[in-house]
Structures are given as C-alpha cells and as structure tokens.
C-alpha cells in the first residue's frame, strides 16, 4: 500500500506537472488543451476532466448534447461516460461531429441478456465508426459474477478496457477484491472533499495495482453547492489557481495521485467550461488538501 510519504511525493509530482504561473490570465488558460494523465500500463492517456451522464443525454436533447460534447472536444477533452439510451445519443452526436476517434466512450452494461448487450455494442461501433469500444464497465454486483464475460469481450476486441463503477462505500470491498484479481483496467468511484472514504483503501489500492481511476460525484449530486452557498471562496484558494467553488472540489480531487480523470455532470455549457477550468493551473499540496476539507466542514 502507498504510505503517506509516497502519497505526498506523488502529489507533489502531479502538482508540478500541471503547474502554471498564478498570474496566467483565465482567458489565456481557456485557449489551452486539457492536461492528460496516463492510463497505467498503456501508452494511452486521458484528459483530466470528462463528461458524465448529463440530463441533456438522458433527455435526448441533441442540440444541448452537441454543445456539451463540442465544447469538451474543443478544450482537449475526450472522456464521456454514459449508460442506457444516453450512449446512443452521445454516439450519434459524436458521429455528426466526426470525432469518433477523439472521444473516449465509457459505457455501462448490466443486463442478463448477453446477446442484447452484444447487439448494443455493435450498434455503438456502427454509429461511431470505432473498431472497438473504449471502455465497458458495470456495477460491482453485476460485474463480479459476470467478470469472465467481460474478459471475453476484451479478448475478442469488442472493448479495449473493462472496469467497475459505483458511487457508494458499501461496494468498496468488492471493488478492492476485483482489483486484487488484477484484471480491472479502470475503476470509477465517488470521491470529493466531502466524501473522502475512498482515500482510505480504494484509491491506494488502485495506485498500487496500476488501475486507472475516474471519479464520479465530485459535487455529491449538488450537496456540495448547498454546503458552500452564500459563502465566498477563501482568499487562499488563489494559491492553487482556483476561481470557483466547482473548481475547489475538482482541484482537490485532481490533486490525488491515483486520479486519472474526473467525470462531471452538467447540461449547462457555462458550468462545463468552469469545470474544465479546474484542469489548468496549480493544484493543492497535501497540507492545503487537509485545509480544504477542514474549511468545508466549518461552513
């Protein structure tokens, strides 16, 4: 397991890699491409901010979905995470924008009917023009008993990566067990300055096992904003180039050395741009991370 000394060292490395001058204007930052982090054990990488299953996707809002995905792509983003019919909305938008090879699509499968799941995989491939899906993942309660099936899909080149995803600590033991087996490529888990439980065992395990980590619930489905509503950012947030409360949470998450990408859910392009901004500039060090958590608890 990673000890505190290794954690601080790796956090410092990530911070230095993404560091930019504090005086760098926001308008100039907006012209840059999102930094990327490697997918462990591969020669591929992911931009540090992605899009989750937005209400625009779920409501089949083509114009809204197009605006979000186009913005993400223009800023150098790639990861889009979606499930159910939302994935076909995303696939069609990606096809219309002719960016199939640029978008990293993570999508869930959890049906008892493998034939139907295979049909949906092929449908996604046909729409996007991809030769294989980027990431197929599922929930621990379905993934664990069906893991051999997911392995077969990977061996057949239906998908490049397989993973497991959840947003509640009651599933952490199963996630850890699956990572110990050594076949999980990507783990998605909840983590934020108000939900730090994954920091105890799950994230250190992913770091040790070389598992890529995507983070969900960076704002705890809006609970984070309820906590900070009516409060100004602390003056010391400028020390890590933080310009909004959303960036406060996202920069905390990105400062963890196990994290590859944070998945954000919004249907508002303005909010999406603010989220993307968290990928630029300096990140908090270990001492500041602790200060951030304590500050939020005091509100």
Taking the chain (299 residues) in runs of 10, the rounded mean pLDDT of each run is 40 42 45 91 97 95 97 97 96 97 96 95 96 97 96 97 96 96 95 97 96 97 95 97 98 98 95 97 97 96
Is-above-0.85 flag for pTM?
yes
Write down the pLDDT at residue 32.
83
Six-digit token string for 26: 């926001």
Question: Which of these, 210, 228, 211, lies nearest to 219 by C-alpha position?
Answer: 228
Write down the pLDDT at residue 11.
42
Six-digit token string for 45: 């990488």
The residue written with tokens 């204007």 in the block is: 25
Six-digit token string for 67: 């605006």
**Distances from the Cα of 156 to the Cα of 3, 124, 153, angstroms:** 38, 16, 5
Q: What is the CATH number of the domain that holds 292?
A: 3.20.20.100
Residue numbers of the domain that contains 78? 4-298
The count of structural domains within the chain is 1
Q: % helix / strand / coil in the chain, to the nearest 5?
A: 50, 15, 35
Write down the pLDDT at residue 30.
52
User: In 193-243, which ranges are continuous DSSP H helix?
Assistant: 202-209, 223-228
CA dist 222 and 82 (Å) reads: 19
**List of residues 6+ apart from 224 with CB closer than 8 A:** 192, 194, 218, 245, 249
Three-state SS for 3? Answer: coil
HSE, CB side, 13 Å, CA atoms: give it for residue 145. Answer: 5
């Amino acid at each position: 397991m990673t000890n505190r000394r290794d954690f601080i060292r790796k956090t410092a490395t990530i911070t230095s890699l993404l560091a930019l001058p504090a005086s760098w204007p926001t308008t100039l930052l907006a012209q840059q491409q999102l930094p990327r982090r490697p997918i462990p054990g591969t020669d591929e990488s992911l931009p540090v901010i992605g899009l989750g299953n937005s209400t625009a996707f779920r409501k089949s809002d083509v114009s809204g979905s197009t605006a979000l995905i186009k913005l993400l792509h223009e800023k150098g983003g790639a990861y889009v995470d979606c499930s159910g019919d939302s994935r076909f909305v995303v696939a069609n938008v990606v096809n219309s924008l002719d960016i199939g090879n640029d978008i990293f699509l993570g999508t869930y499968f959890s049906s008892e009917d493998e034939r139907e799941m295979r049909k949906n995989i092929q449908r996604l491939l046909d729409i996007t023009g991809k030769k294989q899906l980027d990431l197929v993942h599922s929930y621990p309660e379905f993934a664990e008993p069906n893991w051999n099936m997911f392995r077969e899909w990977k061996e057949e080149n239906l998908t490049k990566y397989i993973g497991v995803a959840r947003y509640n600590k009651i599933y952490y033991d199963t996630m850890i067990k699956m990572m110990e087996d050594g076949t999980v490529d990507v783990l998605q888990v909840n983590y934020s300055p108000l939900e730090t439980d994954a920091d105890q065992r799950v994230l250190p395990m992913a770091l040790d096992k070389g598992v890529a980590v995507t983070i969900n619930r960076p704002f705890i489905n809006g609970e984070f904003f309820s906590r900070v509503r009516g409060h100004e950012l602390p003056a010391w947030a400028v020390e890590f180039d933080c310009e909004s409360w959303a960036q406060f949470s996202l920069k905390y998450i990105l400062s963890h050395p196990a994290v590859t990408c944070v998945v954000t859910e919004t249907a508002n392009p303005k909010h999406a741009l603010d989220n993307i901004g968290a990928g630029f500039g300096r990140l908090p060090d270990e001492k500041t991370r602790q200060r951030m958590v304590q500050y939020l608890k005091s509100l």
